[in-house]
Amino acid sequence: MPATMFRDRVLLAAYPARLRRRHGAELIATLTELTQGCPSRADRLHLIADGLRERFRLPVRWPLGVVVAVLAALAGGAFGLAAGSWAGEQTYPSMPAAASAARQILGPDARPDRLERTRFDLEVTERLAAPAQVERRVREIHQRLGGTGWSVTPVDEHGTFWAQSGGLRVSVSGLAGPDPSVEVLGYPVRPALYLPLVLSGLLVGLLAGWLVGAALAFRLTASRQRVPAVVVAGLGAVTLAVPAARLYQGLVIFLRRDDGFGAGALVHDALAWMPWPLRDPAVFPDSAGPGLRTLLAGSALVVLAVVIASRPGAGSGVPQSAAGE
């Protein structure tokens, strides 16, 4: 019966392949017998839950399996942090056009001497004729923005204040040196989705990493090539250690120092903090490329370890209990 076979395959998909091959038919036969061939939704959900628990279980009597699973979970969490942070970066608002922002902040008659804009940064500079004009000009801009709906802070003793409107936050500073001017620096306000995406990526990555580590641990216990597979997996873990540690460091720094605006300290930017020789000196220091390449290289070594350990060893001499069956 095609419909029944399809349903059985869907139910068994929750179980690891090692159990589906050995006990799949037995599980379905037991379920059919206990439910007289008509399993309820609760019965099916119970079978699926059992299968998922088996996926998270580790081999017994092999302590190294715990190490493999923990390291895989940490590496998966690092991948999740990078993916969640990158996805969160896409939700950041872009900076408005520099000319229109300058007219809105400085006034329609202003003639700024410098206009620079990137996606996450805005810089406007207006030179003044004399130092005595700086304080008055800052007060004019403060009053103008406050009167047009911006949220503004008081002008401090250094002649600086902050203003925010929508997704844009700017600092306005008066510089009364030999070249008197007013400087406006703009940044995006951190979107509410950014941190939930980062933490969701971390959680999903930890779970996925544990599943990969548990599967690898079972493969290693049953492999004829356990020693070379463990060595290659160890090299992969060492390769992943630096970029993974940097990403967790980036999360800690972000949580401690983030003030709710600016996109220059996102979690995945920590991939640019790779030490020599993992970073190419010719690459701009802020590039995340070397860190990403190191993550991919470490992952490739782990995949290679899985390939080496992919042949189960009936003659490997590993007791069935050690494989957790």
Q: Are strands 151-152 and 122-127 parallel, antiparallel or unpaired?
A: unpaired
SS3 call for 161: strand
Spatial distance between the Cα atoms of 266 and 189, rounded to a whole number of angstroms: 13
pLDDT attached to residue 319: 41
Dump pLDDT digits (tens) for 206-253: 999 999 898 888 888 877 888 888 899 899 999 999 899 999 988 988
CB contact at 8 A, 70 and 216: no
Is the pLDDT reported for residue 29 higher than 80? no
- C-alpha distances out from residue 116 to 124, 167, 169, 184, 229, Å: 7, 18, 16, 10, 53
CB contact at 8 A, 197 and 263: no
The mean per-residue pLDDT over the stretch 248-274 comes to 77
The mean per-residue pLDDT over the stretch 129-153 comes to 90
The whole-model pTM stands at 0.76
Spatial distance between the Cα atoms of 219 and 281, rounded to a whole number of angstroms: 39
- In this structure, the chain runs to a length of 325
Is the pLDDT reported for residue 161 higher than 90? yes
Among 323, 251, 240, which Cα is nearest to 22's?
323
Spatial distance between the Cα atoms of 125 and 105, rounded to a whole number of angstroms: 11
Of the two residues 28 and 170, the one the predictor is more confident about is 170
pLDDT confidence band for 141 (50 / 70 / 90): very high
Is the pLDDT reported for residue 12 higher than 50? yes
* Per-residue tokens: 61: 């009597």
Spatial distance between the Cα atoms of 220 and 313, rounded to a whole number of angstroms: 10
User: What CATH code is assigned to 98-188?
Assistant: 3.30.310
Spatial distance between the Cα atoms of 70 and 64, rounded to a whole number of angstroms: 10
Cis amide prior to 108 (ω within 30 degrees): no
Residue ranges of the domains in the chain? 1-56, 57-90+193-323, 98-188
Spatial distance between the Cα atoms of 272 and 269, rounded to a whole number of angstroms: 6
The vertex-85 CA angle with 79 and 89, nearest 5°, equals 145
Spatial distance between the Cα atoms of 41 and 309, rounded to a whole number of angstroms: 37
CB contact at 8 A, 186 and 169: yes
What would the DSSP string read from start to end of 200-269? Answer: HHHHHHHHHHHHHHHHHHHHHHTBTTHHHHHHHHHHHHHHHHHHHHHHHHHHHHHHHH--SB-SSS-GGG
